[in-house]
Amino acid sequence: MSRPRRRHRGIWSLKRGLIPLVGRAAAVVALLILLAWGVGRVANDRWYWSQFLWWIPTGLVALVAWSCWTISIIAERLGSRMAGARARPLVLIGAALATAWFVASLRPLNLLKERADGPVRIVYWNAAWSTPTDITEVFEPLDADIIILANPHPGESTREVDAWLVDLERRFRLGSPLQSERSHRARVRKISVVSRWPVALRDEVAIEPPPTAWSRSTLAKLQTGLGYLEINVPTTDEPEETTPLRVVVVDLPSDPLLARRDVIAEAHDMIGDAGWTSPDVVLGDFNTPRGSASLTPLKHDRSETFAAVGAGFGATWPRPIEQLSIDLAFVGNAWRPTRHRTVDTGVGLHRALVIDIAAKPGISPVSEEQPADDADAPLDEPVRP
């Protein structure tokens, strides 16, 4: 008779002790996460301390909040005491708000817009030292006009990538109606570029942020810099009439201990100090999520392509469980985005960006017959406009 009583006493103790405690703990955890997330939404990354809260993924917050809310309810029903009942309404409101925020970030209304392939398609991918198994299988079907490949693996696979880029340039050159003597390929910093149209100008600058405990690693020091390109793009049915498409490729430091607002402000100042013409396209790995206040100097009056014509999750890092959109593209001046999507390359930590753009009406073409003064500059040397 004593054994059943001890077993009954153990179950009663579990109902009155551990199960309600789990329910209350789940509610408290959800409230703390929602509070941190909410402060991050309000403060954005305007301050150093708030950038870490701003980086908390909204989708993950919603998932955790709903899970904790469910656990709290189950714990109360299984136990004999209240398990976070007072906190649950706040958790419910916070979870609903995070869910609504996440759904809004998917840009569902953009599905109602006309999103067509543009006359200029740019593909950008930060390989992040990964080794593509077969790069042609990933990029050939995209039918890109400009391919920008950043940070390829420095090993044996680089030869395969370079061989493919050389072959692609040859095909672009043979198929180009411009018959230009300029190269269709360029390299700026750790970035390789191949274009359907001639690359007229290019330049590069390095970003050297102050060292932190994290950035003393070699990898952190390598992935920093800006590249500038001018590509003569036809804007009419006459192939000899082109306009320079000015592109700045961004590869900002991945050090999480750096203040993003300072890094991006420095990058903006470097563009001005280098004397580059205001870019039509700014794209690359910003290591800063979409919507960050710190992006304002580089964004300026340009349109963020996903916000303008993208739809869906849109996160690019870290694959294969992407949570943040840190690979971004901004288009302005005489161009407009017509389509934005991301592609899983199968390797690495970043998804590739595929953006289509079109010239706005009234853009002024220039004749390809009037080359720039530096048209004959050697391709292995950087050229300043």
What ranges in 135-217 are assigned the alpha helix state H? 135-139, 157-175
Query: How far apart are alpha carbons 290 and 324 in whole angstroms?
Result: 8
Q: Which of 259, 330, 320 is nearest to 290 (CA)?
A: 330
pTM above 0.95, yes or no: no
Contact of 276 with 246, CB cutoff 8 Å: yes
Q: What pLDDT does 228 receive? A: 93
DSSP secondary structure letter of residue 383? -
Residues 15-46 as b or e (16 or more Cβ within 10 Å = b): eeeebbebbbbbbebbbebbeebbebbeebbe
Q: Which of 265, 316, 270, 288 is nearest to 124 (CA)?
A: 316
Q: What pLDDT does 215 receive? A: 59
Q: What is the mean pLDDT of each run of 10 residues along the chain (385 residues)?
A: 50 60 89 97 96 96 95 79 76 96 92 82 88 74 90 66 76 62 74 87 80 58 78 74 89 90 92 91 95 94 94 91 95 91 90 93 52 36 39
Q: Which of 28, 29, 27, 56 is nearest to 43 (CA)?
A: 56
Contact of 267 with 253, CB cutoff 8 Å: no
* Chain-centre distance for alpha carbon 385: 28
Q: What pLDDT does 63 receive? A: 96
Q: What pLDDT does 338 receive? A: 94
* Chain-centre distance for alpha carbon 300: 17
What is the radius of gyration, based on Cα positions, of the chain?
A: 26
Terminal Cα distance for the chain, rounded: 94
| Cα–Cα distance list, 217 to 35, 177, 213, 225 (Å) | 33, 47, 9, 17
